[in-house]
Amino acid sequence: MTHTPDMIIKLKNKNIALLLCLILLCITSCLNITSDIKNWIEIENIEDINGKYHFLSDDGVKIYLPDTFKKYTSSEYLKLLDSLATKKSYAFESRAVETLRDLDGNFYIYFDEAFGITYTINTLPYFPFSKRDASQLLGIIRMNNEKITKKEDIKFTKITAKYTGNKKQQIFRSIYKVDYPDTDLSLFSTAYIISSNGKTVMIKLSSIYDINFDPFIQKMIL
């Protein structure tokens, strides 16, 4: 596959790499999570998942989410965030939401109130990308994490980063554990960039749980 340096430049200039790792992380720490609910977060097999499709009509994309997710507008989500987060966290998170919302393409937010999990998806201008592109993107993520660590009491640990692709479809997935030592809080930040069928999407999942979201990604239709 042809290397596409313009894609990496665009990602860096828009600060998407930073947003892949740090976005909407504070909400889960503010909710009372019921641990004994029989839940979807333990699902490993695509045959066992229950949920429903959400059609993003402006983009011709169908995403598949657990039944507990509800769609929010940006203003509704920021209002929820304002009611739960500290002033400092709200300022950071609201800027992140605004940055995602201002990217080329459309921006959607879904929130699982039962488990305090945030799912965002951006539909971006189409770009196929290579394994080399994904490696460069991972390097940008690492540098941004190091910058944040110098300014904030936050520790990043890479759980996984993987690229799979061919001429028809490319997928980049990364999972980071984000530790806040001053609060003993740990969160997991999962990100996907998927290009297929002439479309590209960026998906972000933020949770206190280390979730295998791949079965839901596999049911998505681009």
- What CATH number is associated with residue 148? 3.40.1000
Q: How far apart are CA 84 and CA 109, in angstroms?
A: 17
Check residue 50 and give its pLDDT: 79
Residue 13 in any domain: the answer is yes
Quote the number of domains for the chain. Answer: 1
Establish if 59 belongs to a structural domain.
Answer: no
Q: Rounded to a whole number, what is the largest CA-CA distance in the chain?
A: 49
Query: How high is the pLDDT of residue 107?
Result: 94
Q: By three-state DSSP, how is residue 41 classified?
A: helix
**Residue 34 in domain:** no
Residue 60 pLDDT > 60: yes
**What pLDDT score was predicted for residue 148?**
77
Please indicate, yes or no, if residue 205 is contained in any of the structural domains.
yes
Give the C-alpha separation, 172 to 137, whole Å. 9
Give the separation between CA 209 and CA 35, rounded to whole angstroms: 11
Mean pLDDT computed over 94-108: 85
The torsion angles phi and psi of 102, rounded to 5 degrees, stand at -90, -5
Mean of pLDDT values over 189-201: 93
User: pTM of the entire structure?
Assistant: 0.83
Instruction: Count CB atoms within 10 A of the CB of residue 90.
Output: 16
Residue 211: inside a domain: yes
Alpha helices in the chain (DSSP H): 5-14, 16-21, 27-30, 74-84, 87-101, 131-151, 214-218
Please report whether residue 50 resides in a domain: no
Top-confidence residue, 144 or 33: 144
Instruction: Show the domain range for 163.
Output: 5-26+69-218
Structural domain contains residue 36:
no
Mean pLDDT (the chain, rounded): 79
Burial class (CB in 10 A: 0-12, 13-18, 19+), 204: buried
| pLDDT at 25 (0 to 100) | 46
User: Residue 201's pLDDT band (boundaries 50, 70, 90)?
Assistant: very high
For residues 63 and 54, give the distance between their C-alpha atoms in angstroms, rounded to a whole number. Answer: 5
Is residue 34 over pLDDT 80? Answer: no
Residue 99 pLDDT exceeds 90: no
Let me know if residue 142 belongs to a domain.
yes
